[in-house]
Structure 1
Amino acid sequence: IQRINSDLANDLGNLVSRTVGMIDKYFGGTLPAERTATAFDEDLKAVALSTTEKVENAMEKMFFSDALVEIWNLVRRTNKYIDETQPWILCKDEDKKAELANALYNVAESIRIISILIQPFMPNTPEKIWAQYNITEGDATAWDSTKTWGVLPAELNVQKGETLFPRIDMKKELAELEAAIKASQATSVANQQKKEEKKAEAESEYPAEITIDDFCKVQLKVGEVLESKEVEGSKKLLRNVVKLGDEERVIFSGIKDAYAPGELVGKRVVVAYNLKPRKMMGEMSYGMILCAEDGDGKLSVLTTDDKDFASGSSIS
């Protein structure tokens, strides 16, 4: 945004528009052929005619940013030339009209050279500049013409055109960017949650047959549900806090369709105690509450008949 507002809008865009504006205001849009040189002309010409070689050398080495630096040195030198010649003061003296015409012609010629040199970087911009200075594609827009000064016609006609680089509202643009980032992050989180839910569902499907050695690896314990809450952003999960003896664990369960939040509080449930913890909804789940499922997919949490059975007790 700073690059657009500074280098493009302020430096180049303003240079083009203000020059067209002054030619239109002081000469009715057409520069007269009669001119008188100023003390600042030769330095501007020298900088302009040396820029092409510097740009070519940088481009040959693929130092594209260096090439742009050289072009913008010419842009800034041209703006400085306007400050040196002060057209707004020359216009007040009829005897200085030829000097004023000379100054504005030199600025326009420098802009012509700049417009050609920026083509590799901004291919659509040169034509917009040429339209305002009535430059048709041909000898005056050829790359080699940037090495010659005074290619523009003596009686140059100009016409105002569109703003080349409209300034960007920094605060508004950053606010829109921040909103877009947040929306993207929200979508990413939602997609990740869906993946985790699908993974949880897949992990809940066990092989039909296991050996006794496999079964002996599973440690089952009695747990008392202290808390059971909804999980924001999930359609199936409940976040349960389960007491297992002297410890409390967070266990996520996909049973929201079968149990309302809080309905399990106080129940003593069967917990797969040594199940490897996994991250769900941005938090670790330590264990699994066992359920029965009928042919219609209805779930029922496995509980102990004796509610006085101590939490943390082993089931074998």
Structure 2
Amino acid sequence: MGTILYNSLEALRFISVLISPFVPDTAEKIQKQIGLTEFDTVAEWGRLPVGLTVSRGEPIFPRVDVKKQKQKQPKEAAQPKQKKAKETSRLVSFADFQKLDLRVARILSAEPIEGADRLLKLQVDLGTEKRQMVAGIAEHYKPEALVGKQVIIVANLEPATIRNVESHGMILAGSGDSVVLATLETEMPLGTQVR
């Protein structure tokens, strides 16, 4: 039995020397637990002194409890969702906000876009010009209910083609359980800048 223990400790000494360049902290823990202060060579077997006192230490490589890991996984899966929520509510600098050209516009006409259940094609009047826009509000507003409403739009948004319809701006709306257009309490001149 003594020979088996001696050979096991000598093997650990070899292992600690060989892994020391890669994981020096682990090698040092092994050497402390088997009571070594030197022996940084693997040139010969049997250099471990007889009668060496081995100290009981913490596990160098603790055993992984699979049951605990499985219990942690649902919690870890929920964390990316929280991270996404934080990412979407990033702060915008005042300089970036000033780049937006928010204007008052009146909806002149609204019609469904063929093949798109959620989209409406809108014609809006900015006072100095009329524009066509696409808005994803068809599930919440009937086209005829929109005509004549004053809304707030992002006027300097790059044009985009949505379902083969060119959109020159975006109507602001709040979303949650339902979608509500950003409208004005009182009539304002068309094209008025919103700040």
Q: Aligning the two structures, in what range does the TM-score lie when normalised by the shorter sequence? A: 0.5 to 0.7
CA contact (8 A) 2:122 2:135 kept: no
1:268 aligns with 2:169: no
Q: CA deviation at 1:112?
A: 0.6
**One of 184, 190, 202 as aligned partner of 2:89:** 190
Give the corresponding residue for 1:287. Answer: 169
- Answer with 1 or 2: which has the greater Rg: 1
Q: Does structure 1 residue 114 correspond to structure 2 residue 15?
A: yes
Contact 1:270 1:289 (8 Å CA) reproduced? no
Distance of 1:116 and 1:122 partners within structure 2: 10
From 104, 128, 133, the counterpart of 2:5:
104
The CA deviation at 1:299 is: 7.0
Q: How far does residue 179 in structure 1 lie from its aligned partner after superposition? A: 3.4
Q: Which residue number corresponds to residue 101 of structure 2? A: 204
- In the alignment, the residues of structure 1 paired with residue 24 and residue 46 of structure 2 have an alpha-carbon distance, to the nearest angstrom, of 23
Alignment equivalent of 2:109, drawn from 223, 236, 252:
223
CA distance, structure 1, for counterparts of residue 51 and residue 80 of structure 2:
53
Q: Which residue pairs with 1:132 in the alignment?
A: 33
Give RMSD over aligned pairs: 4.7
TM-superposed CA distance for 1:189, in Å, is: 2.3
Greater helix share, structure number: 1
> How far off is 1:222 after superposition?
1.4
Structure (1/2) with the larger strand percentage: 2
Q: Say which of 135, 138, 143 aligns to 1:250.
A: 135
Q: State the identity %.
A: 29
Distance in structure 2 (CA, Å) of the matches to 1:205 and 1:155: 84
Q: Counterpart of 1:181 in structure 2: which amino acid? A: P
Query: Which range moved further: 150-159 or 178-187?
Result: 178-187
Q: TM-score, normalised by structure 1?
A: 0.36
Match of 1:159 in 2: 55
Q: CA deviation at 1:176?
A: 4.4
Q: Distance in 2 between matches of 1:276 and 1:205?
A: 14
What displacement does 1:303 show? Answer: 8.8
The count of aligned residue pairs is 150
Q: Deviations over 1:205-230 (max 9, x none)?
A: 69xxxxxxxxxxxxx9713599xxxx
Q: Which ranges of structure 2 fall in alignment gaps of 5 or more residues?
A: 113-117, 124-131, 161-165, 173-183, 191-195
Instruction: Give the 3-state SS of the residue equivalent to 1:181 in structure 2.
Output: helix
Q: Is the 8 A contact 1:222 1:244 kept in 2?
A: yes
**CA apart distance, 1:105:** 0.7
Q: Secondary structure at the match of 1:203?
A: coil
The 2-side partners of 1:275 and 1:154 are apart by: 81
| Partner residue of 2:79 out of 166, 180, 193 | 180
Whether the 8 Å CA contact 1:224–1:243 is kept in 2: the answer is yes
Q: How far 1:249 moved relative to its partner? A: 2.7
